[in-house]
A and B are shown apart, each in its own frame.
Chain A
Amino acid sequence: MTAGPRIVIVGASIGGLTAAETLRQEGFDGEVILIGDERHRPYNRPPLSKQIVVGEWGPEDAAIRSEAEVDDLGIQLRTSCTAESLDAVGRVLHTSQGDIEFDELIIATGTEPRRHPLVPTALTLRTIDDALAIRDGLRTAQRVAVIGPGILGSEIASAARKYGADTQLIGRSGALTLGGVGSLLSSRLAELHTENGVDLVLDAEIVGARADAGGTSIEFADGRSERADLVVAMIGGTPRTQWLMSSTLTVDNGVVCDGTGHAAPGISAVGDVAAWRDPYTARPVRVEHQSNAIEQAIAVALRLVHGEPGARPIPLFWSELHGTRINAYGWFDPELPLVSIDDGSNPHATVLVSRDDTDRVHGAVGWNAPPREFRAARASVAASAAIAPALITRP
């Protein structure tokens, strides 16, 4: 065993790997152990619902770092290793491969997709193996039903159209949502899907499903039923905190942390599983975006190495639907309609912002936007964030 402090990171996805990389880049020379329950090296999840399901990328293209690059970090990567429970006070992690003592622990276990309670045949998506199963299904499906009107549901529907399948996008509410932008882009998204041949089935409550050899019939509250030979459910995820239930950590829809990712002495959490307290409202908030996991991991690693927290992450995410690139940056108040900041002459390429009545810009959306214009809008979001609380979380 090497001398010096040992940092153990649970979860070998983007948050865990970024934490490990940042620790090394910032000069931490103690031991770093990164454990992940999958058999794969760390890989990017955003391409799973994009390049992987449409078959443009193979699984190896999603890898974040090559084996050699991971080796160069001088960390211990333990794959197929599951965290089973935590002794937070004694600082011991119990895993499927034995106990590991630590000086600092970083929790980055992400979320688990919800399975649809009434449609057990519906596929879900979390791992690369899930994505390959959806890809294989899409290759032969004639009729695809996607349940869930969020960003992942939209992406799978877009992929299904690329394969030419008859595609339905089913939502219980009447709105399509897009990550932190909420339903503010709903009508734009609806138009985009409709123009590209997706059949929107909104305000539709599923009451049951019947599966047979040929597919699944989904039954709705109004008596209608729809048949599909592939059903995919993208109805959100729950934080993977089961293994922490016997620990002394505060778990309430995620690992509750202060505004710097600190959960308990010697324990931090980052990414989808972490609920950092918003510095202005003091409420714990989870953000399920790749860039948030990256920035929280960097902030925690900086705090562990230098004792000072890094910058507060500003949410950022992107999507591509039917060839339209969408970028979003900042915070979006559901009460503030998005306004276009150009002359509106080209509705298919624009920058939309969330601007309050004091003219502060809290969020910006690039809709096929020219990069320079989107960058300018981002700069005003960053400037507002530096001087004022985000207004999205109203007390």
Chain B
Amino acid sequence: MVVVVQRDACVGAGQCTLVAPDVFDQDDDGIVLLLEPEVEGALLEAANKAARLCPARAIAVSAQ
């Protein structure tokens, strides 16, 4: 599965880096950085959790 982040929507809350630290990081302004654009297994589960927790809805996980 593919992870897509929308950096201009990110508000830097950091929910994603807490629940999926292997998939997401934050830059110096707190804006999301994508570490793993393709995820499976435990990382996919974590990325899905991050996507639904993201307060700005800036993360999407999809088949492509």
Could you list which residues of chain A lie within 8 angstroms of chain B, going by C-beta atoms? 14, 18, 21-22, 25, 44, 46-47, 61, 64-65, 69, 290-291, 294-295, 298, 316-318, 320, 325, 327, 366, 369-372, 374-375, 378
**List of B residues within 8 angstroms of A370 by Cβ:** 28, 30
**Complex Cα spacing A382 to B10, Å:** 22
Q: A64-B57, A370-B28, A371-B28 are in contact. Are A22 and B52 (CB under 8 A)?
A: yes
**List of A residues within 8 angstroms of B55 by Cβ:** 46, 290-291, 294, 316-318
Asked whether A378 lies within 8 Å of B52 as measured between CB atoms, the reply is no
**List of A residues within 8 angstroms of B56 by Cβ:** 44, 46-47
Asked whether B30 lies within 8 Å of A378 as measured between CB atoms, the reply is no
* B53 at the A interface (CB under 8 A): yes
Asked whether B14 lies within 8 Å of A298 as measured between CB atoms, the reply is no
Asked whether A69 lies within 8 Å of B30 as measured between CB atoms, the reply is no
List 18 other contacts, CB 8 Å, given A316-B13, A378-B18: A25-B52, A46-B11, A65-B57, A291-B15, A294-B55, A298-B53, A316-B15, A325-B12, A325-B30, A327-B14, A370-B28, A370-B30, A371-B12, A371-B14, A371-B17, A372-B26, A375-B17, A378-B14
Asked whether A291 lies within 8 Å of B48 as measured between CB atoms, the reply is no
Identify the closest chain A residue to B28 (Cβ).
A370
Per CB-CB distance, the 5 closest pairs between chain A and chain B, nearest first, are A371-B30, A371-B26, A291-B55, A318-B11, A64-B57
Q: A44-B57, A316-B15, A378-B18 are in contact. Are A298 and B52 (CB under 8 A)?
A: yes
Tell me which of A61, A291, A366, A371 has the highest count of chain B C-beta atoms within 10 A of its own C-beta: A371
**List of A residues within 8 angstroms of B9 by Cβ:** 47, 61
**Complex Cα spacing A318 to B31, Å:** 13
Query: Within the complex, what minimum Cβ distance (angstroms) separates B48 from chain A?
Result: 6
The answer, among B30, B53, B57, for a CB contact under 8 Å with A374, is: B30
**List of A residues within 8 angstroms of B13 by Cβ:** 291, 316, 318, 327
**List of B residues within 8 angstroms of A320 by Cβ:** 11
Query: Within the complex, what minimum Cβ distance (angstroms) separates A268 from chain B?
Result: 17
* Residues 31-64 of chain B, each 1 if its beta carbon lies under 8 Å from chain A, else 0: 0000000000000000010001101110010100
Query: Within the complex, what minimum Cβ distance (angstroms) separates B45 from chain A?
Result: 10
Between-chain CB contacts (< 8 Å), 16 pairs: A14-B57, A21-B52, A22-B52, A44-B56, A47-B9, A65-B57, A298-B53, A318-B13, A318-B55, A325-B29, A370-B28, A371-B12, A371-B14, A371-B17, A371-B30, A375-B26
**Complex Cα spacing A389 to B54, Å:** 25
Query: Within the complex, what minimum Cβ distance (angstroms) separates B4 from chain A?
Result: 11
**Complex Cα spacing A159 to B3, Å:** 32
**Complex Cα spacing A290 to B48, Å:** 18
**List of B residues within 8 angstroms of A44 by Cβ:** 56-57
**Complex Cα spacing A291 to B11, Å:** 12
**Complex Cα spacing A374 to B15, Å:** 12
**Complex Cα spacing A75 to B48, Å:** 18
Query: Within the complex, what minimum Cβ distance (angstroms) separates B35 from chain A?
Result: 14
Identify the closest chain A residue to B57 (Cβ).
A64
Tell me which of B12, B26, B28, B55 has the highest count of chain A C-beta atoms within 10 A of its own C-beta: B55
**Complex Cα spacing A370 to B12, Å:** 10
**List of A residues within 8 angstroms of B15 by Cβ:** 291, 316
**List of B residues within 8 angstroms of A69 by Cβ:** 60, 62
Asked whether B52 lies within 8 Å of A18 as measured between CB atoms, the reply is yes
**List of B residues within 8 angstroms of A25 by Cβ:** 48, 52
Query: Within the complex, what minimum Cβ distance (angstroms) separates A347 from chain B?
Result: 18
**List of A residues within 8 angstroms of B26 by Cβ:** 371-372, 375
**List of A residues within 8 angstroms of B27 by Cβ:** 371
Identify the closest chain A residue to B60 (Cβ).
A69
**List of A residues within 8 angstroms of B60 by Cβ:** 69
Asked whether B53 lies within 8 Å of A294 as measured between CB atoms, the reply is yes
**Complex Cα spacing A95 to B50, Å:** 34
**Complex Cα spacing A378 to B15, Å:** 10
Query: Within the complex, what minimum Cβ distance (angstroms) separates A13 from chain B?
Result: 11
**Complex Cα spacing A18 to B55, Å:** 11
